[in-house]
Amino acid sequence: MESIGVLMPSPIYGYLEQELAKRFKLFNPSNISEENVNSIRAVVSSAKISVDTQLIESLPKLEIVSTFSVGYDKIDLAKCREKNIRVTNTPDVLSDDVADTAIGLALAVLRKICVGDQYVRNGHWIKSDFPLTTKFSGKAVGIVGLGRIGSAIAKRAAAFGCPISYHSRSEKSESGYKYYPNILDLASNSEVLFVACTLNKETYHIVNRQVIDALGPKGVIINIGRGQHIDQPELVSALSEGRLGGAGVDVFENEPEVPEQLLGLENAVLSPHAASDTVETCNAMADLVLSNLEAHFLNKPLLTPVV
């Protein structure tokens, strides 16, 4: 497979890059030329790399896009379908880490873990005036999207004694958790709302002002989905005006830009879109990308096809 060209539009992960270079002819934007562009048959992307019409059209021999992420919202799927380009992602292997991060953010927001860290580091402990925090155990948890990651969050929250409800585009699941066909009803009956659905036209800004207001001043939102799931200016205003109790945010609307106002809010815990970034999971994701590419070029079934 050494003669097959694979393009990585920007750096993703060292181990993945090394393995790709061993098995394929690895390109990046700086070494593509008119002479070699026709050897590129695959693109390896990530949740931070856009595979748009322009990129797809610029690679006449493109056969497969393999993303190092479970989400594929950065890939123009319609264009891939039109051109018979296959698409793969990396589901399952990251669900535990993303769910761990979601629970970690909920604990950090409610128990003010980052505020406490700053308090100790800044030498304020001596005053002994650290505020009381809020319990997570037993809180009413709402989950938007009960897929693999949403289910992993539910399992963990259940272990904290939290009653679980969810809203999902698909029909009621067999989970036994309470189902709300309307996200507003879910928010009205939740104390901590986790956003874990796929980003598409229906879920864009699924968390809007009404949903935020339904959660109210004691409510907390945790977003490990995509920044575009939440109307970000509304979130920032609600947090700063005390209309929402807190938020744990791993994803932002215009990453890596973060609204200036959010940086100054103690009731927000921020994370750099790193929910799945453990060594173990990144290695497993890289192996899945490599296995999908090898399966494609050996004419075997793809392991995790999207298209």
Any idea which residue has 């940086």 for tokens? Answer: 263
Minimum Å gap between C-beta 77 and ligand DGY is 14
Task: Verify whether residue 202 is a known catalytic residue.
Answer: no
* 16, 20, 49, 69: residue in contact with ligand DGY (rule CB under 6 A): 69
Say how far apart CA 124 and CA 51 lie, in whole Å.
48
For residue 160, which of 108, 112, 113, 103 has the smallest C-alpha distance?
Answer: 103
Which residue, 88 or 276, has its beta carbon nearer to ligand DGY?
276
Which entry of 86, 167, 226, 229 is annotated as an active-site residue?
226
Site stretch for ligand DGY (CB under 6 A), options 1-9, 22-30, 68-76, 264-272: 68-76
> Is 226 designated active site?
yes
The number of CA neighbours under 13 Å toward the Cβ of 229 is: 22
DSSP, collapsed to helix, strand or coil, labels residue 100 as: helix
15 vs 179 by CB, closer to ligand DGY: 15
> Which listed range, 22-30, 50-58, 69-77, 194-202, lies at the site for ligand DGY (CB under 6 A)?
69-77
C-alpha 260/C-alpha 256 separation (Å) is 12
Q: Figure out which of the listed residues 165, 276, 292, 304 binds ligand DGY, where binding follows CB under 6 A.
A: 276
- Non-local (6+) Cβ contacts of 183 within 8 A are 144, 167, 206, 207, 211
Distance between CA atoms of residues 275 and 124, nearest Å: 31
Shortest Å, Cβ 241 to ligand DGY: 29
CB of 164 to ligand DGY, least distance (A): 21
Q: Which stretch in 64-72, 75-83, 260-268, 295-303 sits in contact with ligand DGY by CB under 6 A? A: 64-72
Q: Which of 17, 253, 255, 294 is catalytic?
A: 255
Binding segment for ligand DGY among 37-45, 65-73, 109-117, 202-210 (CB under 6 A)?
65-73
Q: Which of 70, 143, 164, 186 binds ligand DGY (CB under 6 A)?
A: 70
> Per CB under 6 A, does 275 bind ligand DGY?
yes
CB of 149 to ligand DGY, least distance (A): 8
Give the count of alpha carbons within 13 A of 239, CB side only.
Answer: 24
CA atoms in the 13 A half-sphere facing the CB of 144: 31
Q: Does 223 bind ligand DGY (CB under 6 A)?
A: no
Q: Does 47 bind ligand DGY (CB under 6 A)?
A: yes
Contacts (Cβ under 8 Å, ≥6 apart) of 98: 70, 149, 152, 196, 224, 275, 276
Q: Active site residue: 41, 156, 167, 273, which one?
A: 273
φ, ψ for residue 157, nearest 5 deg: -65, -35
12 binds ligand DGY (CB under 6 A): no
Task: Indicate if 273 belongs to the active site.
Answer: yes
Q: Is 71 in the site for ligand DGY (CB under 6 A)?
A: yes
CB of 57 to ligand DGY, least distance (A): 24
Task: Dig out the tokens for 246 from the structure.
Answer: 């807190």
Name the strands in the sheet holding 86-88, side by side, starting at the edge strand that comes first in the sequence: 25-27, 5-7, 40-46, 64-68, 86-88
Nearest to 222 by CA among 130, 84, 109, 126: 109
Structure tokens at 60: 């006449």
Candidate list 43, 51, 98, 187; residue touching ligand DGY; CB under 6 A: 98
Binding site for ligand DGY (CB under 6 A): 47, 69-71, 94, 98, 275-276
Catalytic residues: 226, 255, 273
